[in-house]
Amino acid sequence: MKNRILVLSFLSILVLLLFLPFILNPQLLLNRNNDLQEVFGPIFLFIKQQVITNHQFPFWNSPWFAGQPLLPDPQFSFFYPPNLLFLILPIGTAFIVTFFFHLLMGGVGIFLISSNIFKLSKFSSLFSATLYISSPKIMGFLVAGHVGLVESSAWIPWVILATIKLSSSANIYWVLLLSASLAGLFFTHTVIFMITISSSIALFLYCLTLQRKNISLSFRFIFLALVGTGGLTAVTLLPQLEWLKSTTRFLLLNTREVFPQWNSVGEFIKSVLASVYNLKNLQNIDSEKWLPLGLLVIILSLIGFLNLKRKFKIILSVTLVSITLISLNNASPLYQFFLKLDPYVLMRVSTRVWFVTIIITTFLASLGIEYIRKKFGFKIAVVIAILAVAELYSISWIYMLKPVEQINFAPIEVTNYFKNDHNLYRVFCVTRCLSQKEAAENKLELIEGYNTIQQYNYYKQSWQLMGNYWNYYTLAIPPFGITEYEQLKPDAKSLGEFNTKYIISPYPLEDQNLKLDQKINDFFIYQNNLFKPRSYFFDAEIGILDGAKINYYSPNLVRVDTSAKLASRVILAQVYSPGWNAYLNGQEKTPVLERPNALMLVDIKPTTKYVDFRYEPGSFKIGLIISLVTLSFYCFLLIKGKVNLKWLQI
């Protein structure tokens, strides 16, 4: 127990030291105009607001893109336990705390592999954990605001540990650990999950060739672990599979463009050896090209590599060359071949596989420091270890302090302009000038947005809404290239039907249906004369008729008053998505139809006084049952085994 406390304390201090700039100035982490600030922060705030206000998790993302599913969005899992911190703590504090514990957890996993699998000394094992925690690549994820990538780094070592142990010891506890770790990866980053589970199976098969005993039992146990992973993740996995065909992700296969785009192999090498070649320009390296390993770590890795047996050298050489060829992307001699592979294109960022290199060099460097300790003595090993870690910390801190990228957001006065209008409406800025963070804080709903996935029906309709055309995968709608180099001509009528009341523009708009309300600094604020409420009646001959008031509005449930009976159809101005059901008078289920403009429509009867729109995808109910059964089964196994965790020794 004393050893465990000492190891955890030591690694905790290392993480705190790495986070020292964030602790002294949290804005270095929280206000970088990155994905954390503009995507993850706003969504976690939205979830928190809904839990407080409506006492439920919002399965529907109403703040962006005129509404789209939140439950199956792979970036924001309700069912990832650490995310509960965002309900308890202030959002900024929750980010810092969750990053701290994920890095600590990853370091502990690396320590256990080094000490239990490779049988390294406690010193070398701590060194390996320190290298992993201080990896500049992980710091790059923090700077870019890639929350899921930081969190996924915590689970990868545990997957490796459980996989190797399962190949030699058919123990139910290793099944539980592998399932839980893979589930953690799934909930944090789908791409890393896919890469890791493929690597885990390959590692398992290789370890079996070394053990050559209990092969049949090991196969049964690894199969049970994979099935268990599916069970634990079913609550989110099934809704994701149902929604995937309705999203824009597969647009990547049209243009078949993968990032980052390297200028040359030399640029790649300079990124890997950044502390040697790019010391003055460290902060200018793009986050997706940020691959430093550290010069001393590379030297120690070579020492460790040279002391391996020949077969291990061959396997590691093939692995590292393969990862390098993939990461080189357009600079790789196999680039054209890779582009023909759909999984490679759907990965979108080729350097996502770089974590494999980090894991390998971490363990090789630990073997190297172990060799130096035995050959030249403990004191020399300590000095070299300190220098290696200091190099990584220095690289990470320098990158952490890089200037914040400036985005031409509208001043806060523009957002504050809408505070006195408490009705239900949406806002559109033709240059995406509204910060999603500020919009979330002020409970503004936007017609545009920024996220890795959008609904394809909205994507197509946005051409009409925004008066422009694009046919490629984009994180933002409207895309960055459009807003930067062209002037949009928004369509007041279409926007009005989408409940868009205000349009903001840094340049004058010519549509006569847009009435100039105010000019704040360089931004014109127009009110849409063709604005329609969030719900309205629709008649095929007459058209749109006001009078269908919303009596209750939440992300999962919208109640529309139809007692005026002005027409036999009601439109809810939200983007249609499978999973929505309608109930006449709250009882009689009726299908929700999709209009040509992607909005939701329901046929009502003369006796219908109100309609309940409920977002309740059937796949979620099935997935929830499967996950609860799996979790209950695993709890039973732990209780039956009297929760004996002596198999996990520090």
Whether omega for the bond prior to residue 478 falls within 30 degrees of 0, making it cis, is yes
> Residue 528 and residue 415: Cα distance in Å, rounded?
17
Tokens of 409: 């957001």
Pick from 331, 351, 345: nearest CA to 256: 345
pLDDT at 253: 94
Tokens of 266: 């030399």
List, for the chain, all residue ranges whose pLDDT scores fall below the cut of 70: 1, 212, 277-279, 641-650
Pick from 178, 159, 265, 277: nearest CA to 221: 178
Tokens of 496: 């009005």
- Beta-bridge partners for 610: 561
The per-residue pLDDT for range 396-447, each reduced to its tens digit, is 999 998 888 888 899 999 999 998 899 999 999 999 999 999 999 999 999 9
CA distances from 11 to 8, 102, 111, 216, 645 (A): 5, 12, 10, 38, 21
CB count, 10 Å around CB of 85?
A: 16
CA distances from 297 to 22, 192, 392, 460 (A): 25, 24, 9, 49
> Residue 244 and residue 68: Cα distance in Å, rounded?
12
Contact 460, 435 (CB under 8 A): no
Give the domain ranges of the chain: 2-30+71-400, 412-528, 535-616
> Residue 152 and residue 186: Cα distance in Å, rounded?
8
Chain-wide mean pLDDT for the chain?
A: 93
pLDDT at 212: 66
pLDDT at 650: 47
Tokens of 419: 């505070």
The residues, any chain, with a CB within 8 Å of residue 418's CB and separated by 6 or more, are: 427, 442, 444, 502
pLDDT at 332: 97
How does DSSP classify residue 419?
T
> Residue 285 and residue 129: Cα distance in Å, rounded?
26
